[in-house]
């Protein structure tokens, strides 16, 4: 049996080792949890104020997977990539503070794609038939008002060469162009237009409460517009214009 002094010495030498092992095992997670910070309030605030560009200030500080995914989606100029990131956040990193942003952005993109596709589709046959019937009715009314007996005049008609040339009626063509984004804030729209202007001439069109960033050039076919859009490193949507 060890003496009391020897046992006391053993206890004194073992105690620091136990404390060290405990700190090594339990301190890192606690320290990590204390350092990790949520930026969800800032993200929600910047989106609500339409100041997404301010997210660049906290981009490197964000550590939570849900927040990192949403910030990356908000700052990317590639619309399909952004939608993929929003879907990833909802499925892999659900967050009550950020889920609403992801759902709203996905819904807005879907609505824009559906409205663009609808503008490029021809009129339904029922609407085309209705338009033809209206034109036929107008033609009948004009014919009914015309005199039944032609008016005879003795005035000599000038030679054919002297007859004024009648202008041919020109049917307006449907052109298409590429739209890169819609913003409620004019500064954000101009910022995107400035980036794209180094690749192609762009314009910012105000339509209602939104500012649309799109190419100035108009194309006669969707294929031609899509070919031009591939030369520009920004995601855009082809839509019809007059």
Q: CA 222 to CA 214: how far, in whole Å?
A: 15
Cα separations in angstroms, 228 against 151, 232, 233: 58, 7, 11
The answer to whether the Cα torsion of 115, 116, 117, 123 is positive or negative is: positive
pLDDT for 30: 44
Average pLDDT, the chain: 75
Nearest to 66 by CA among 31, 35, 101, 110: 101
Of residues 196 and 122, the one with the higher pLDDT is 196
Each residue's pLDDT tens digit, 35-73: 579 999 999 999 998 888 899 999 999 999 999 999 999
Q: CA 113 to CA 210: how far, in whole Å?
A: 16
Of residues 176 and 4, the one with the higher pLDDT is 176
pLDDT for 152: 46
For the entire predicted model, the pTM comes to 0.43
Query: Is pLDDT at 88 greater than 60 in this prediction?
Result: yes
Query: Is pLDDT at 133 greater than 60 in this prediction?
Result: yes
């Amino acid at each position: 049996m060890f003496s009391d002094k020897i046992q006391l010495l053993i206890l004194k030498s073992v105690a620091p080792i136990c404390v060290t092992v405990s700190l090594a095992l339990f301190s890192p997670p606690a320290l990590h949890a204390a350092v990790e910070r949520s930026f969800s309030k800032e993200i929600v605030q910047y989106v609500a104020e339409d100041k997404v560009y301010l997210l660049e200030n906290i981009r490197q500080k964000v550590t939570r997977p849900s927040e990192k995914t949403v910030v990356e989606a908000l700052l990317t100029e590639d619309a399909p990539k952004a939608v993929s990131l929003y879907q990833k956040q909802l499925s892999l990193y659900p967050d009550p503070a950020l889920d609403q942003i992801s759902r709203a952005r996905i819904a807005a993109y879907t609505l824009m794609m559906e409205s663009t596709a609808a503008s490029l589709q021809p009129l339904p046959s029922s609407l085309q038939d209705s338009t033809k019937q209206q034109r036929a009715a107008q033609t009948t009314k004009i014919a009914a008002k015309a005199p039944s007996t032609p008016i005879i005049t003795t005035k000599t008609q000038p030679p054919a060469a002297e007859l004024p040339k009648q202008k041919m009626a020109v049917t307006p063509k449907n052109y298409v162009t590429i739209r890169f984004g819609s913003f409620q804030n004019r500064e954000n729209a101009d910022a995107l237009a400035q980036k794209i202007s180094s690749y192609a001439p762009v314009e910012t069109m105000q339509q209602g409460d939104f500012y649309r960033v799109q190419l100035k050039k108009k194309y006669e076919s969707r294929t031609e517009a899509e070919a031009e859009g591939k030369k520009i490193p920004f995601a855009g949507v082809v839509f019809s214009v007059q």
